[in-house]
A and B are shown apart, each in its own frame.
Chain A
Amino acid sequence: MAFDPLSIRSQFPILAQQAYDNPLIYLDNAATTQKPLSVLEAMHNYYLTANANVHRGAHYLSDKATDQFENARLRVAQFINAPQQSQVIWTKGTTESINLVAYGLEHLIQAGDEILITSLEHHANLVPWQQLAFRTGARLRVLPLTSDAEWQEELTHYFTERTKIFAVTQVSNAIGVHTPIEMLIQQAKQHGAFTLVDGAQAVAHYPVDVAKLDCDFYVFSGHKMYGPTGIGVLYGKHHALEVLMPYQTGGEMVSKVSYQATEFNVLPYRLEAGTPHMEGAIGLAAACDFVDQQDRQSMLAWEQQLANHVWVTLQKAANVEIYSPEHNATLVSLSVPNVHTLDLNAYLDSQGIAVRAGSHCAQPLMAQLGVTGTLRASFACYNTLQEAERFCDVLIEAIDLLAEE
């Protein structure tokens, strides 16, 4: 059965507004998605009925808040098929999750070790590793993954006995390409490296099974999967989480403190210093419910159909360079020869269409593509075919207005 975006659109009242007298068309979902009413209500209800500091359980509200907060952890663990809820660490988002791992593993990294990433990484999955390499004398290596997914045979040469960490995105935020993570994770494991998967662009679209992926760490943000901002997740295998040195210390993460020494608390609390983002965690659990209530296969097929429609239309009708794959992507990333992406963006904006123009926090990738930036239209479950068509029409208008000279 085909997915009907109109059936869920009413759950996203923000989309009903006008932008400069045009119907708002929101195609910047890879940056952040909008939130359904159920997520907003979950957070609202938390403050209306349950707010208290968690894990201090000496009174009615604190017990209630702690229950809801820990149930949210359980819900997220189920969402990604983590074996135990203590394997879900709350963070601010993907960026903090990666930094937590990069600092937490530092004590195991020595000069001459290698940290391997891919050429598709967002700055968040690049800079923390580069800085770790600078601090330790390790070498940062970059596995060249091309946009047309022709994975090079020699990629096995990038995995060596010195590879200590392999960090890879599941889906490129900038161009929508999938990486063959199962195969890459197996390669990394054969060389004894820690593996981290950046799932920021995957969780809203694809069912995630961390047990099956068999990675050591899996990280994502709530706000890119219909959840609130400021909450994210670090999943880890128990032994992998156990070796992380806490990079923040303070309350909640300790079990015994004297002026001479501190005994750290058990997982997951050991890695969660300070009062956590309670309503964020509860909102993220509601977002997991929202996503799981959909027919995920047809929802994904719908998003891919929208991206494919744009891909095919523009390939035919306009002088564009498209960097995303024709099939199986949920976004389209493109540039127009001799027209600045910011100019295209400005015209789309004047017509009420929200997209993203720029380097998408992936400057090395842009340099490899030979552009300073691209224009990216990214789709979510609430986008309609009319919106995708309107985007194409307006982009073609913009090219006509801007391309002369």
Chain B
Amino acid sequence: MTIKQQLQACRSKEETFKALVSLSKSLARLPAEEKTEEHKVKGCESAVWLIEQDIDGACYFKADSDAKLMRGVLVALLNLVNGKSKADIQAMDLANELAELNLGSYLTSSRSNGVLGILHAMQN
């Protein structure tokens, strides 16, 4: 099952929670030396670090968080954008894509988890 299928199959908040916990395990954690202030995304109550790499014109992000569900959200987000060009990422409606993955509540409660800040950092 793709990440999209996994998340779209969730029928309740509890199932989404469990799916994100499961997804979080596949995130490659960042070493301590890469978790710098510079890489920290502002506005997140859980700490989130995002590192952008350009490989032959394609964007690849590495990311980490101290909160498990956020790591699950990051897996879903990286899956959406990694390998695309910056212009393609900028053209995406990432908020809508997250809503389609049953992760809409992570946007409405953005004040506490700062997902909008992550989307902004990915597109700029």
Contact = CB atoms under 8 A, between A and B. Distances in A.
Nearest to A358: B45
Interface in A343-358: 343, 346-347, 349-351, 357-358
A343 B18 CA distance: 11
Given A340-B68, A359-B45, A401-B21, 17 more contacts: A20-B13, A340-B66, A340-B67, A340-B70, A342-B46, A342-B67, A342-B69, A342-B112, A346-B17, A349-B13, A350-B13, A350-B16, A351-B14, A372-B66, A401-B18, A402-B68, A405-B25
A359 B47 CA distance: 13
Leading 9 A-B pairs by shortest Cβ distance: A340-B67, A350-B13, A350-B14, A20-B13, A350-B17, A343-B68, A342-B67, A342-B46, A343-B69
Contacts of A405: 25
Interface in B1-34: 12-14, 16-18, 21, 25
16 contacts: A20-B12, A20-B13, A340-B69, A343-B67, A343-B69, A346-B17, A347-B17, A350-B14, A350-B16, A350-B17, A351-B14, A358-B45, A358-B112, A373-B45, A401-B17, A401-B21
Interface of A: 20-21, 339-340, 342-343, 346-347, 349-351, 357-359, 372-373, 401-402, 405
A367 B43 CA distance: 18
Contacts of A340: 46, 66-70
Interface of B: 12-14, 16-18, 21, 25, 45-47, 66-70, 112-113
B110 to A, nearest CB: 13
Contacts of A20: 12-14
Contacts of B17: 346-347, 350, 401
A284 to B, nearest CB: 27
Residue among A347, A359, A405 facing the most chain B CB atoms (10 A cut-off): A347
A54 to B, nearest CB: 35
Contacts of A357: 112
A213 B68 CA distance: 46
Contacts of B25: 405
Contacts of A346: 17, 69
Contacts of B21: 401-402
A342 B13 contact: no
B119 to A, nearest CB: 18
Contacts of A359: 45
Contact of A342 (B14, B16, B113): B113
Contacts of B12: 20-21, 350
B70 A342 contact: yes
Contacts of B46: 340, 342
Nearest to A356: B112
Nearest to B14: A350
A347 B13 CA distance: 8
Nearest to B12: A20
Nearest to B47: A372
A358 B44 CA distance: 11
